[in-house]
Structure formats: C-alpha cells, structure tokens
Amino acid sequence: MYADTALERLDDLKRDGSYRTFVTLNRHAGRYPMATVKCDGGIYEDVQVWCSNDYLAMSQHPTVIAAMQDTAARYGVGAGGSRNIGGTHQEVALLEAEIADWFRKERALAFPTGYGSNDAALEAFSLIYPDLLIYSDALDHASMISGIRRNKNGRRVWRHNDLNHLEKLLSADDPSTPKLIALESVYSMDGDTADLPGVVDLARQYNALTYLDEVHAIGLYGEQGRGIADREGILDRIDVIQGTMAKAVGVIGGFIAGPDWLVDAVRSFAPGFIFTTSMPPAVAAACRASIQIVRADDHARDLLQSRTAQLRHELGVRGIEIMPSSTTHVLPVFIGNARNCRTAAAMLLDEYGIYIQPINPPTVPLGTSRFRINATPAHTVEQVTHLADSLDEVFSRLGISENKKNAR
C-alpha cells in the first residue's frame, strides 16, 4: 500500500514534467563559473553555471578557503555538540559579533542553515508570544511558512506586495494582540522587491514587529552590502533581519540580527536552535572571513550589477523577455510549460555547455515554469553573449521564442 501510493505520486510528477532530477555538478576552486558535470559513461565535461546562488563567487575566494582550511586544522571539522552542550566555540561567537556589527544591531544568532534560521526563529516567536498573529506575504519562502505554520493562530496571508490588503488584515484584528509582519526584501522567483518603507509604516501604525528575510539581498545592495533595508534607509526600523551565509557570502549557515532582548528570547525558546548541532568552527571562520571581504568590496557588487545589466540587454535585443516583475539581479525568463522548461535545460546542457536548472511546480505555480538566471562578477562579457545566443537558438527550436508574449 505505502509503496504503491508513493510510486503513484511520483508518476504524477513525471507525467506533468515537474519530477526533479539532480545533476551531478562539481565546482572547482579557481574556475568558477566553470564546472564539470557527469555525463553518460561517467565522463565529466565542462559547463558554464548560470543559476548558482553564489552571487559574488565568494565560495572560490582564496582567503575564505584558507580560513576554513586553517581553522579545520586547528579545531577539527565538527562542532562537538549543540550550542548548549559544548558547541559554542570561539569562531561562532566571533561570527555573531561580526554579523551584529554588519547590520548595526545589538546582537546576532548563527544557525547551521538559512532554512533553519527562518524555521526556528519564526516558530520561537509563537512560543514567546502565545497569542501572536503573523502576517505573511503570499510569496514568502517555504522556510518562513514552515515556521509560521506552527503558530496556533495560523498565518494571515496578504496578496503579494499589496499593502492595502495588508492594512485591511491588520486593521481587522484586536489592537492589543501581539503582531508580527514577516516578508522578504527580494523575492527569488520573480526578482521583485518589497515596499519596505510602506510595510514599516504600517508596522508602526498597528504596533507590529517586523521580520525581514534579506537572503537574496545581503552582500549585493546597500552600504557594505547590508541589503535592501539599508539601501532604503530604514534598517534601524526593522526589528529582525534574517539572512544566510550560503548565497552572497558563499559558505553555509543562517542568522538573525536584532535587539538583544529579542535575539536572546529566540535563543532560549527556539527548538530548532536549541536541539541542533552547532555550526562547525571551520564553517564559522570561513563565513566571517567572507563577510569581512564582502563588506569592503564594492567592486564585486558593481561588477555583478554591470554583468546583470549586460545580460538584460543581450536577452532583450534577441526578443527574450525577462519577467517584468524583476528589478534585481534575479533574472526570471518565463517558459510556462514544465516539460518545455526541462527540455530546454537539457538542450542547453548537452549541446551548448550551459547549466541552468529548470524551475518547475511546486516551487512556482502550475503553468509558470521558468529559468532563474543569475550573472556574477566571475562571468565574462563573452560568456554573457554566449548564454544569450544559446537561449535564442534553443527557444526558437522549441517554439518558445515568443516567451515575451507570456511573460508575467
């Protein structure tokens, strides 16, 4: 019974083209954005990677690699326990101090993963404030939704970026009930940004805490790469900043940063923090080394924006329209049909040496499959042109060159 049901569900995914397959991809230090993929017969071939979240190529930085290697040689490769039992080491304490300073907050808390930081922190708020009402943007990440769903009062969802709808929900609830507004600054599937000043104004008007996921913005926007809230001049008005070290920082791990009393409460009440093994010292050291470089390196941020602008232009002149929602470095190219999306990705990989992972349901709604393309400072002008030419040819061959008519 159990096997039959599971296999039927898997067959459903395969029929509609949304069954996920993993490409064995090896990234080699010093060669990014080039990587090798495992092909038929076990042979590895070179490809260009165009969908990595290693936005600034920091995973390849010699100083970051050396920090991890040296710390592992000194302390070993594991943390040895949870934060409460033997796992609070010097390197994670230094990392948390670095993050707090970076975001101009009183305190920060590091987690082994970005998903875990959202899930654990948002669950903790519901334990700290049993009557809490949580207001969530309709496109919030799965890690946020996972934590919010543990709230006994459920999740009040406002239409994506519709502040009138958010205010309607806020105004309908008891003013004395504790409230939390949870949202992202950059939405990674559509490439758009939140109206943060408007959200903060509503939060103050209705006495709500604000929880901002800056995962796809830190390192890339604002002074020292502090994110969209800093760029908008409202970082000090956001109660909790959540972020990751797995994207622009190029390593692994997540964090929250905010006032001491609130971060301490999350530390004390979040099961996902208390009962998991701590981040290893070598990982924490690599994260801190990378953050220090990212904070100081405006050139990498500028180059990323330059490559992104070039790619926008090259796709535009070929009639390949990026979804108009995108105003950031995230460039979603609409395809629609999941099967076409997978076929196009396979053709790019097999015939053009380009790796782009198709984004299919349930990650995005049915009928909105797409490529999510990210240029980085490591991509060359020639590689940008090669990508645009390759997409143009593949889309024409598959009859999806008119994607601009379907762009959302």
Whether domain 61-296 has CATH 3.40.640.10: yes
Residue 38 has pLDDT above 90, yes or no: no
Distance, CA of 206 to CA of 169 (rounded, Å): 11
What CA–CA distances, in Å, run from 334 to 242, 331, 360? Answer: 29, 10, 11
d(CA 248, CA 73): 25
Residue 29's alpha-carbon distances to 66, 185, 367, in angstroms, are 12, 31, 37
pLDDT-derived band at 105 (thresholds 50, 70, 90) equals: very high
Comma-separated ranges of CATH 3.90.1150.10 domains in the chain: 18-56+298-405
Model confidence over 138-180: pLDDT tens digits? 999 999 999 999 998 878 999 999 999 999 999 999 999 999 9
- Average pLDDT across the chain, whole number: 95
**Rounded CA gap, 236 and 212, in Å?**
12
Q: What is the pLDDT of residue 237?
A: 98
Position 304 pLDDT exceeds 60: yes
Across 200-223, b (16+ Cβ under 10 Å) vs e yields: bebbeebebbbbbbbbbbbbbbbe
Please report, as a single letter, which amino acid is at residue 354. Answer: I
Q: Give pLDDT tens digits for 192-242.
A: 999 999 999 999 999 999 999 999 999 999 999 999 999 999 999 999 999
Write down the pLDDT at residue 402.
58
CATH 3.40.50.280 fits 18-56+298-405, yes or no: no
pLDDT at 19 over 50: yes
Tens-digit pLDDT profile for residues 342-386: 999 999 999 999 999 999 888 898 889 999 999 999 999 999 999
Q: How far apart are CA 25 and CA 360, in angstroms?
A: 20
Distance of CA 192 to the CA centre of its chain: 13
What percent of the chain lies above the pLDDT cut of 70?
98
Instruction: Please provide residue 321's backbone torsions phi and psi, each rounded to the nearest 5 degrees.
Output: -95, 130
Q: What pLDDT band is residue 401 in, cutting at 50, 70 and 90? A: low
User: With the C-alpha atoms ordered 219, 224, 228, 230, is the resulting torsion angle positive or negative?
Assistant: positive
Phi, psi (rounded to 5 degrees) for 106:
-70, -30
The reported pLDDT for the residue numbered 21 is 84
The pLDDT-based confidence of 404 (bands split at 50, 70, 90) is very low
Place of tokens 């791990």: 253
Active site (catalytic) residues: 247
pLDDT recorded at residue 362 = 83
**Cβ neighbours of 245 (radius 10 Å):** 31
Mean pLDDT of 65-69: 99
Residue 54 has pLDDT above 60, yes or no: yes
Start and end residues for every CATH 3.40.640.10 domain found in the chain:
61-296
Rounded Cα–Cα distance for residues 397 and 90 (Å): 56
Other Cβ atoms within 10 Å of 365 Cβ, number: 10
